[in-house]
A = this chain, B = another copy of it.
């Protein structure tokens, strides 16, 4: 951490600041430049986390020179984390596809989807039983009934399951059925929920918040990791920008940025990322080439009858075609795919 003094800062200001820092158990390095004096802090920065240096007289700004996450960082864990979901490996050069409908709507709809997913060679089935919806009047999922249908599809197909958890109330219930607990973008900074996930013995897939910086996303992962759960999968699903041609702006740049900062696997969701099924194939292929650890893709036996997100769902034939193209690409970039 570096503290920049303003031009009017007096020697007295600098001394007061120095003393306060030393009282926090850190050392101080002072550099007097031509225009500004800079105060460097040396020692364990945990001690000064959130300390209001800008309230001191003469301080212009505080500059953080290291990232605030620790367990999520490559410094702490230099090799890529590989998560084993009942035999399906996520991370470390493996490439997984998670696919299925936005919501579980009925046994029939889900089973038809699951069989199609299985047929293409994808390994993980997605489907929402609890749905966060912008409107209180919209369909919000089948609840436990949906979880049971997912579990049945797992029995029949051998696919692993990922489904969303919306709140602490349903944590035990969801954990009982699913293989991966998905945390949605709107809950990325639901800190009460994140803390509890640190105590769960299931992998957590943490979607990036709509306006979360990559650093905040990794700090949200840090909540789970610091609770003791080392199995965190990141999922880029589009950020909010000024552009309205897409529902969100899928930020593929996040993949190489995460790679440079963290050991956690990162999945790309082009369905929510664009919100338009016509853009999903192109962005899926880009998601492979960019070097992610997998894709999460929405498909539906009949998008025109979907109860949620039909506009971004591929049909079964579209999804099958895309899977063929994904395999060619994964092969071309040297990724292993089941």
A interface residues with partner B (beta carbon < 8 Å): 2, 4, 7, 20, 29, 31-36, 38, 40-44, 46, 49-56, 61, 63, 65-66, 68, 75, 132-140, 166-169, 186-187, 189-195, 209-211, 213-216, 219, 222-223, 226-227, 239-246, 249-257, 259-260, 273-274, 276-279, 281-283, 285-291, 303-311, 313, 325, 328-329, 331-333
B49 touches A137 (CB 8 A): yes
Return A298 CB to nearest CB of chain B, in Å.
11
- Indicate which residue in B31, B38, B42 contacts A32 across the interface (CB closer than 8 Å): B42
Which B residues touch A276, using CB under 8 A?
Answer: 54
- Indicate which residue in B2, B134, B219, B308 contacts A219 across the interface (CB closer than 8 Å): B134
A311 touches B255 (CB 8 A): no
- Indicate which residue in B52, B133, B256 contacts A283 across the interface (CB closer than 8 Å): B256
The docked-state distance in angstroms from the alpha carbon of A279 to that of B255 is 9
The docked-state distance in angstroms from the alpha carbon of A253 to that of B187 is 25
Return A100 CB to nearest CB of chain B, in Å.
16
Residue among A187, A240, A333 having the largest count of chain B Cβ atoms under 10 Å: A240
A136 touches B222 (CB 8 A): yes
